[in-house]
Amino acid sequence: MKKIVLTGAAGRLGSYLREPLTKLCDTLVSTDIAEDIGTPYPGETYMQADLASLDDMLRVLEGAEMVVHFGAFVDEGPFEELLGPNFIGAYNVWEAAHRHGLRRVVYASSIHAVGMYPKTECIGTDVPHRPDTFYGLAKCFAEDLGRMYWEKRGLESVHLRILSCAQVNNARALGSWLSYDDLIQLVTRSIDTPVTGFSVVYGVSNNDRAPVDNSKAAFLGYRPKDNAEVFAEQVLAATDPLDPQDPGHMCHGGPFAAVELGNSGLATMNVIDDRKTT
Ligand X SMILES: NC(=O)c1ccc[n+]([C@@H]2O[C@H](COP(=O)([O-])OP(=O)(O)OC[C@H]3O[C@@H](n4cnc5c(N)ncnc54)[C@H](O)[C@@H]3O)[C@@H](O)[C@H]2O)c1
Which stretches of 109-207 are DSSP H helices? 134-153, 173-176, 180-192
Residue 135 is a catalytic residue = yes
In the complex with ligand X, the residue whose CB is nearer, 64 or 195, is: 64
Within 10 Å of residue 206's Cβ, how many Cβ atoms?
Answer: 15
Residue 131 makes CB contacts below 8 A (sequence gap 6+) with 112, 113, 114, 115, 116, 137, 139, 140
Nearest by Cα to 60 from 101, 10, 15, 97: 97
Residue number, 14 or 146, with CB nearest to ligand X: 14
Residue in 28, 162, 187, 204 binding ligand X, rule: CB under 6 A: 162
- CB closer to ligand X, 38 vs 154: 38
Asked if 8 touches ligand X (CB under 6 A), the answer is yes
| Alpha carbons 59 and 18: distance in angstroms, whole number | 20
Residues numbered 251 to 270 that lie near ligand X (CB under 6 A) are none
Q: Which of 41, 43, 58, 73 binds ligand X (CB under 6 A)?
A: 73
- Interface segment toward ligand X; rule CB under 6 A; list 49-57, 98-106, 120-128, 227-235: 49-57
Catalytic residue among 107, 117, 135, 180: 135
By CB under 6 A, is residue 164 in contact with ligand X? Answer: yes
State the nearest-atom distance from the C-beta of 79 to ligand X, in Å. 15
**Under rule CB under 6 A, residue 33 binds ligand X:** yes
Q: Is 245 exposed, middle or buried (0-12, 13-18, 19+ CB in 10 A)?
A: exposed
Listed in order, strand segments (DSSP E) in the chain are 3-7, 27-32, 44-48, 66-69, 104-110, 156-162, 198-203
Residue whose beta carbon is closest to ligand X: 11
Tell me if 10 contacts ligand X by CB under 6 A. yes
Q: State yes or no: residue 12 binds ligand X (CB under 6 A).
A: yes
With binding defined as CB under 6 A, does residue 46 bind ligand X?
A: no
Ramachandran quadrant class, 63 (left: phi over 0; alpha: psi -120 to 50; beta: rest): left
Residue 211 binds ligand X, judged by CB under 6 A: no
Q: How far is the CB of 142 from ligand X (least distance, A)?
A: 9
Which letter, b or e, does each residue of 150-173 get, where b requires 16 or more Cβ atoms within 10 Å of its Cβ? beeeebbbbbbbbbbbbbbebbbb
**Using the rule CB under 6 A, which residue among 28, 64, 68, 72 binds ligand X?**
72
Q: How many residues bind ligand X (CB under 6 A)?
A: 26
Contact 151, 192 (CB under 8 A): no
Residue 70 binds ligand X, judged by CB under 6 A: yes
Site membership for ligand X, residue 110 (CB under 6 A): yes
- C-alpha span between 213 and 191 (Å, rounded): 21
Separation between Cα atoms, residue 156 and residue 207, nearest integer Å: 29
For ligand X, the binding residues (CB under 6 A) are 8, 10-14, 32-34, 50-52, 70-74, 84-85, 89, 108, 110, 162, 164-166
The residues annotated with a catalytic role in the active site are 135
